[in-house]
Structures are given as structure tokens and as C-alpha cells.
């Protein structure tokens, strides 16, 4: 098994999450301030190397009305990341994850939601992927 990086890409902040080595649970990791593609790319590549990450799962905002400007921005970032890393990059639909993240944090009594909202969204994106992957693994057994 391996560690997987979850990413919630935003114009201002980028939430990161990590899986456990057994690929069962996702946890919040940290938030990057989006200071431009080059700096973000450098920071993510550094984490990939430091954490021995073997796969990236990134949320793709596919809303109910189809592709948006944000979808195109994320697709562009995925393309740039893909040109700079050799590990797989998996896209998952992230519809409503920010709303779910906010509800999770409010229900948990977190006071500074803004500080970890993007991390929680990245955790939800990654956990959704892990859950689906583990269901498929069970069905194959």
C-alpha cells in the first residue's frame, strides 16, 4: 500500500490531505496559499517527495450545470502537475465538498473554520476516493 495525496484546488487556497499507508482513511494535512502555479507546483512536488506519495487524487468541480471556469483552471493545473510528476493523478468529482466540509467543521465545534476548510474539503475528496476504491477491492475478492 501507499500514501495518497488529496488536493482541493482553489484560486486563493489549496487544501491538502493524506491517506494512511493502508489507504483506508484520509486526514487533513495543510493548506497552501495559492501564490501562482509555479510556487504551488514546487510546494506540491516537495510534499510528494517528502511524504513518499505514490498517487494524487484531485477534486474536479463538475457542477450540476457542467464545466465552469474553475473546472478549466483545475484541468489546467492537473495538466501542469502531470508534466512534472510521474505518479498517477486521479480526478474525482468534488461537487458540494466545500459545503460538506463546512458542515463537518461546524458540527465538530471548530471555531476557525476558514483556517482548515480547504483541508477538510481535500480530506472529503480523498476519503470518497478511498471508500470507492475499497468497495471495488472488496467486490473483487
Domains, the chain, with CATH or none:
3-140 (3.30.420.140)
Mean pLDDT of 73-80: 94
Q: Cα(10)–Cα(53) distance, rounded to whole angstroms?
A: 21
Q: In percent, how much of the chain has pLDDT > 70? A: 91
Please state, in angstroms and rounded to a whole number, the distance separating the CA atoms of residues 102 and 104: 5
- Strand, helix or coil for residue 36: coil
pLDDT number for residue 141: 47
State pTM to two decimals: 0.87
Amino acid at each position: 500500500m501507499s500514501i495518497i495525496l488529496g488536493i482541493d484546488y482553489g484560486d486563493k487556497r489549496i487544501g491538502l490531505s493524506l491517506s494512511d499507508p493502508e489507504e483506508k482513511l484520509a486526514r487533513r494535512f495543510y493548506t497552501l496559499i495559492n501564490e501562482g502555479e509555479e510556487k504551488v507546483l514546487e510546494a506540491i512536488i516537495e510534499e510528494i517527495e517528502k511524504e513518499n506519495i505514490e498517487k494524487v487524487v484531485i477534486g474536479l468541480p463538475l457542477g450540476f450545470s457542467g464545466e465552469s471556469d474553475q473546472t478549466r483552471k483545475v484541468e489546467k493545473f492537473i495538466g501542469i502537475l502531470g508534466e512534472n510528476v510521474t505518479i498517477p493523478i486521479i480526478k474525482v468529482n468534488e461537487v458540494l465538498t466545500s459545503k460538506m466540509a463546512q458542515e463537518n467543521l461546524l458540527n465538530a465545534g471548530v471555531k476557525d473554520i476558514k483556517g482548515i476548510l480547504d483541508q477538510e474539503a481535500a480530506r472529503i475528496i480523498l476519503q470518497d476516493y478511498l471508500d470507492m476504491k475499497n468497495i471495488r477491492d472488496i467486490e473483487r475478492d
